[in-house]
Copies of this chain bind each other. A is one copy, B any other.
């Protein structure tokens, strides 16, 4: 039960992309450099986001990544699911069907323990689905303040992206 470090990187990267104009894009090297992260590994996570339908990639000169949908329609769960997979965290091994009482457990009725954990996971996912990357980008931008926002805009322009506002 440990959230992969790559999820954090991916959310930060998406938050940066949410601060750019819809037709603007940034490459993996720029997204990694913004937080001083290893470019090659960041690229790996960005590929996973493309596979998960969160980002779209364009190759060639002045290519890069951009959000596949409006930032308001991308939730934190979408990002985590793209990196870690959307399957359940608790995978029932059905060990109840082994041992002296195995014959008395109906295979049609789901395991009570697995059900309890799956409900808890559903609550977890519901919370993440309620938070969009647009909200995150908004809050981070507010925290930056006017000067920080200007610095972000400068950096984006230097790296081929067109910031919003």
Contact = CB atoms under 8 A, between A and B. Distances in A.
Interface of A: 1-5, 7-9, 11-12, 15, 33-37, 76, 80, 84, 89-93, 95-96, 98-101, 103-106, 109, 112-113, 116-117, 119-121, 123-128, 131, 136, 139-140, 143-145, 147-148, 151-152, 155
Given A3-B91, A5-B91, A112-B136, 17 more contacts: A1-B1, A5-B93, A7-B90, A8-B90, A12-B96, A35-B95, A35-B98, A36-B95, A36-B98, A76-B116, A96-B140, A103-B148, A105-B143, A112-B143, A116-B136, A120-B128, A123-B124
A34 to B, nearest CB: 5
Determine chain A's interface SS by DSSP, over half rule: helix
A134 to B, nearest CB: 12
Contact of A89 (B2, B33, B35): B2
A152 B93 CA distance: 21
B3 A89 contact: yes
Nearest to A127: B120
A126 to B, nearest CB: 7
Contact of A99 (B1, B34, B145): B34
Nearest to A145: B104
B105 A148 contact: yes
Contacts of A128: 116-117, 120
A3 to B, nearest CB: 4
